[in-house]
Amino acid sequence: MGNLEILIQAPIFSVQLLIDGLLVGSIFALAAYGMALLWGVMNIINISQGDYVILGGYVTLTLYNAGIHPLFGVPVAAVVLFFVGWAIYRVVIFRVVDRDLFISILATFGISILLQQLMDQIFGADIQSAESGLGTLFLFDDRVTVGQIKLVALAVVIVVSVSLVLFFKRSRMGQAIRATAQNARAARLMGINTDRVYAMTFAMNAAICGAAGALVVMTWVIQPFIGLAYTIRSFMIVVVAGLGNIAGVVAAALGLGAAEQFAAFLLGAEFQIGFVFGLLVVILLVRNMNLKRQRRVLK
Amino acid sequence: MYRYLKSAFVALPSAALAMSLFGTAQAKVEGDTIVLGAALSFTGKYKTNGKHTKNGYELAVKRVNEMGGVKVGGKNYELKVVYYDDESTPARGAQLVERLIKQDGIQFMLGPYSSGLTKAMAPVTEKYKIPMVEGNGASRSLFNKGYKYLFAVLSTSEQYLAEAINLAAEQAKAAGKDPGTLKLALAVENDPFSQDIRAGVLDDAKKHGMKVVIDDKLPKELNDMTVTLTKVKALKPDVLVVSGHSKGAATAVRQMMEQKVEVPMFAITHCEAADVVGKFGPGADYTLCATQWAETMTYEDDYFGSASDYAKLFEKEYGYVPPYQAAESTASVLVWVDALQRASSFDTAKLRDALSATDMRTFYGNVKFDETGKNIAKPMVLRQIQGGQYKVVAPTKWASDKLVHPRPKWSER
């Protein structure tokens, strides 16, 4: 617990941990939101989620290597991934939408392997990164540092979340997606082309992941085979936050991000991910107890 | 009719038996060609290094054949290597080695890329008593299982960064300080290979009485080190050691730069594989990088000349500067050539004894195996990045340049 003393004696370091945690969490929030969308609307748990993130990273990297500033990768990767997502829906996903959850897990797992191997063939297995050249902010005597790219990530997350909320409230397509999520059969009877809604949802998810990937390649590093870490993280955030709740997803992502930074500082980096999983178990247990209590009241 | 059938029944299996015996005898030495076998990663996550390994083997084969081949029992033989793709998966690797031995009759094995795959293949070669010379499996756990047929030309993993600790102690003494006052920070990935490195560092730190203030084990999935570096800022260690394959190297160098972390000595592995100079330019300066071999070293042999001659030849052939993974692969083939010539026989038992008695110089370094099969004649090398160039700074005997110590502060660069 020597590390706790550091935080007590020099509380400035906990500011660093908090800021880092929130900013890291904001990148995960994007991928997690896409996952919640798919799960809520189509009842699909997308194992290939992280691979779209990495693919978005490679799109950005391609731009970067061609001499274009990687920040343009955020919109470009989103657009490219939108079409990739659309194509994957048309080829594979539409066959598994109404099936058992297990079938969709298998199908997306297959897509994940395929994407990984394709990226490996095209871009190589080496780790890569793109430099945004944005530099770092130094606060409090250089003791707190904030990578400006992480601030950009936070801004992107805010912009994307707000525009998604508006999209779902205002646009016809957004309303159609919400209607389909509530009751696909009824929506179909009301004349909504649910097949188109599903394609749109899947493509939108891929686009969101693509934007996240652009941020990942500028903040950290990418490699064809590390997508699964992002899938698992998104899954966890969605489990904590629940489906169809954008504010909840963002809050859960930021909260988990901060929690894991503190855990890693106090317990050591080897517990960083273990702690988050432990927290997940606790949250599920508490929630289950609450539900039981409600059920008893209902009786 | 019945008689013919009967004779056919007798003849067929015996012919098959004869063919299989003959086939095996044929395959290990086909006419004037000695056939070696290797399962390498041509696809999957190790494919880049799988390619380096293959190029290393092929360059050695080409050079040895050009120079008259291998002389065994008064006759000159050419070399050839049969390859399979292990898809970077250990289970596949073990299958393929079995196939190389049983179907293709290979009696002389070359190693795969990575400790994990070597670990999967060694039990198989051991079972069939087929010697394997490898240059890309460094894990300590390969050499404490009592394997008799495994020989490694490279320095084992616990030596990778131990040299940095000794260097820090040397520097402290030179500055009139007690090495026991030094504070050490470790951030090492939580996989067997990197943990071997950690064990080696801790052993040497203990020897000098250094205090370990941070000892983080980075999870495999992690690609962010900000927390560990925040701790470094808080505790101000004298030496920071990071190892986590290419991902760890790139992440550490990048975030050190982004967070302006000041530490007098910063040593990592996998600089070249992560291309930290190409990616981060001046931000990578003054980083210490562990390497098995460098082309600026003064080793020599009859096949390739000096280390830099080897590098030139390799670059001419394949269009890139040889990473140490290629050099140690080439050295593995040279060890085979030396053993075959000394044993002057194709008998695997005699060859095993010849291999274990190896004591030779190569462009890659000296090779002499201890009873566990690891090379004890070649030290690890530390290079410091200075102005975007890798300069050998330790061990002092092979150093071409002086260490810049402590690292200049970020504000003074």
CATH number of the domain enclosing B286:
3.40.50.2300
Pair B361, B90: CB distance under 8 Å: no
Q: Do A272 and B250 touch (CB under 8 A)?
A: no
List the single residue in B with minimal CA-CA distance to A138: B259
**In A124-221, which residue ranges form alpha helices assigned H by DSSP?**
148-170, 172-182, 184-189, 194-219
Pair B394, B383: CB distance under 8 Å: no
The pLDDT score that the predictor gives to residue B398 is 75
Write down the ipTM of this complex.
0.84
Phi and psi angles of residue B371, each rounded to the nearest 5 degrees, phi first: -70, -15
The pLDDT score that the predictor gives to residue B24 is 45
Pair B363, B307: CB distance under 8 Å: yes
Q: Can you tell me the distance from the alpha carbon of A53 to that of A226, in angstroms, rounded to the nearest whole number?
A: 10
Does residue B278 belong to any structural domain of this protein? yes
The answer, for B217 touching chain A at a CB cutoff of 8 Å, is yes
Q: Which residues, in sequence order, are CB contacts of A210 under 8 Å at separation 6+?
A: A52, A53, A55, A56, A59, A77, A78, A79, A80, A81, A82, A84
List the single residue in B with minimal CA-CA distance to A5: B234
pLDDT digits (tens, 9 = 90+) for A255-289: 999 998 999 898 888 888 888 888 888 988 998 88
Q: Do A126 and B187 touch (CB under 8 A)?
A: no
The percent of residues in chain A predicted with pLDDT above 90, rounded, is: 56
- Closest listed residue to residue A28, CA positions, set A161, A167, A157, A220: A157
Q: What pairs with residue B390 in β-bridges?
A: B385
The long-range contacts involving A111-114, CB below 8 angstroms and separated by at least 24 positions, are A111/A47, A111/A48, A111/A51, A112/A47, A112/A48, A112/A50, A112/A51, A112/A227, A112/A228, A112/A231
The pLDDT of residue A180 is above 80: yes
Q: Do A20 and B227 touch (CB under 8 A)?
A: yes
The pLDDT score that the predictor gives to residue B11 is 52
> Are both B60 and B93 inside the same structural domain?
yes
Does residue B4 belong to any structural domain of this protein? no
The pLDDT score that the predictor gives to residue A13 is 85
The answer, for A127 touching chain B at a CB cutoff of 8 Å, is yes
> Are both B233 and B314 inside the same structural domain?
no
- Identity of the residue in B217, B234, B274 whose CB atom sits nearest the CB atom of A268: B217
Angle at alpha carbon of residue A268, lines to A266 and A272, rounded to 5°: 95
> Are both B144 and B180 inside the same structural domain?
no
Pair A35, A53: CB distance under 8 Å: no
Q: Can you tell me the distance from the alpha carbon of B182 to that of B186, in angstroms, rounded to the nearest whole number?
A: 13
Partners of residue A225 in chain B, C-beta under 8 Å: 45
Does residue B189 belong to any structural domain of this protein? yes
Q: Do B48 and A3 touch (CB under 8 A)?
A: no
Q: Do B217 and A269 touch (CB under 8 A)?
A: yes
Number of domains within chain B: 2
> Are both B260 and B136 inside the same structural domain?
no
The answer, for A145 touching chain B at a CB cutoff of 8 Å, is yes
> Are both B246 and B394 inside the same structural domain?
yes
Shortest Cα distance from B254 to chain A (angstroms)?
8
The answer, for B113 touching chain A at a CB cutoff of 8 Å, is no
- Tell me how crowded residue A289 is: count the other CB atoms within 10 A of its CB: 10
Partners of residue B225 in chain A, C-beta under 8 Å: 269
List the single residue in B with minimal CA-CA distance to A114: B44
Q: Which residues, in sequence order, are CB contacts of B142 under 8 Å at separation 6+?
A: B115, B118, B119, B122, B150, B152, B156, B374
> Which structural domain range is residue B312 located in?
19-155+296-368
The answer, for A146 touching chain B at a CB cutoff of 8 Å, is no
Q: Can you tell me the distance from the alpha carbon of B87 to that of B104, in angstroms, rounded to the nearest whole number?
A: 19
Enter the tokens of residue B76. 């000159």
The answer, for B206 touching chain A at a CB cutoff of 8 Å, is no
- Closest listed residue to residue A118, CA positions, set A55, A46, A60: A55
Q: Do B217 and A20 touch (CB under 8 A)?
A: no
The pLDDT score that the predictor gives to residue B20 is 47
Does residue B285 belong to any structural domain of this protein? yes
Q: What pairs with residue B184 in β-bridges?
A: B212, B239
- Closest listed residue to residue B244, CA positions, set B338, B346, B357, B161: B161
C-alpha distances in angstroms, A262 versus A256, A258, B93, B194?
10, 7, 41, 24
Does residue B11 belong to any structural domain of this protein? no
> Are both B92 and B196 inside the same structural domain?
no
> Are both B273 and B406 inside the same structural domain?
yes
The pLDDT score that the predictor gives to residue A51 is 96
Shortest Cα distance from B222 to chain A (angstroms)?
8
Under 8 Å CB pairs connecting chains A and B tally to 105
> Are both B50 and B191 inside the same structural domain?
no
Does residue B375 belong to any structural domain of this protein? no
Q: Do B260 and A142 touch (CB under 8 A)?
A: yes
- Tell me how crowded residue A7 is: count the other CB atoms within 10 A of its CB: 16
- Tell me how crowded residue B213 is: count the other CB atoms within 10 A of its CB: 17
Pair B172, B179: CB distance under 8 Å: yes
- What is chain A's mean pLDDT, rounded? 90
Q: Do B221 and A120 touch (CB under 8 A)?
A: no
Partners of residue B241 in chain A, C-beta under 8 Å: none
The answer, for B253 touching chain A at a CB cutoff of 8 Å, is no
Orientation of helix B307-318 relative to helix B47-66, angle to 10° = 110
DSSP code for B127: H
> Are both B246 and B196 inside the same structural domain?
yes
Largest CA distance in chain A: 66
Shortest Cα distance from A261 to chain B (angstroms)?
6
Partners of residue A16 in chain B, C-beta under 8 Å: 226, 230
> Are both B283 and B336 inside the same structural domain?
no
Sign of the torsion formed by the C-alpha atoms of B371, B372, B374 and B378 = negative
Query: What residues in chain B have per-residue pLDDT under 70?
Result: 1-27
Does residue B65 belong to any structural domain of this protein? yes
Pair B249, B221: CB distance under 8 Å: no
- Closest listed residue to residue B200, CA positions, set B211, B214, B188: B188
> Are both B151 and B164 inside the same structural domain?
no
Instruction: Output b/e per residue, A173-201; b: 16+ Cβ within 10 A.
Output: bbebbbbbbeebeebeeeebebeebbbbb
Does residue B277 belong to any structural domain of this protein? yes
> Are both B122 and B227 inside the same structural domain?
no
